[in-house]
């Protein structure tokens, strides 16, 4: 059980990084926030629940099976803004340029 929990924590950390630490740093160096940072700035504190955090694309063409990143370019979920429930999404430009 402990091993499975560690696997889940590892997957959660990888998903949170999107395209990786280097790509996130590149966004920051351009004065931009990451997709998850933009959502966290928008919604009420600790209210965001991400949907499909572990989604992976199913494309087999163009060598894409070697380029599988958790979350797959769009961060989606729900949270609250001023106490009202909302559904939000943000393109993650660190993953395939934010493409779907």
Q: Give the integer Cα–Cα distance in Å for 49 and 29.
A: 27
| CA 10 and chain centroid, separation | 14
* Percent of all residues in the chain with a pLDDT value above 70, rounded to a whole number: 77
Superfamily of domain 2-98: 2-enoyl-CoA Hydratase; Chain A, domain 1 (3.90.226.10)
Helix, strand or coil, per DSSP, at residue 48? coil
Region 47-71: mean pLDDT is: 70
For residues 74-97, average pLDDT? 89
Each domain of the chain, given as residue ranges in start order, spans: 2-98
φ/ψ of residue 80, rounded to 5: -125, 145
The mean pLDDT of 65-88, rounded to a whole number, is 84
**Tokens of residue 97, six digits:** 């340029």
């Amino acid at each position: 059980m402990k091993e499975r929990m560690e696997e889940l924590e590892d997957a959660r950390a990888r998903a949170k990084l999107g395209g990786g630490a280097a790509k996130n740093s590149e966004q920051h160096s351009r004065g931009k926030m990451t997709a998850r940072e933009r959502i966290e700035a928008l919604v009420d504190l600790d209210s965001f629940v991400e949907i499909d955090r572990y989604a992976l694309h199913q494309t087999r063409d163009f060598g894409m099976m070697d380029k599988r990143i958790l979350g797959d370019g769009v961060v989606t979920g729900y949270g609250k803004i001023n106490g009202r429930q909302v559904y939000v999404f943000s393109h993650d430009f660190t993953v395939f340029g934010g493409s779907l």
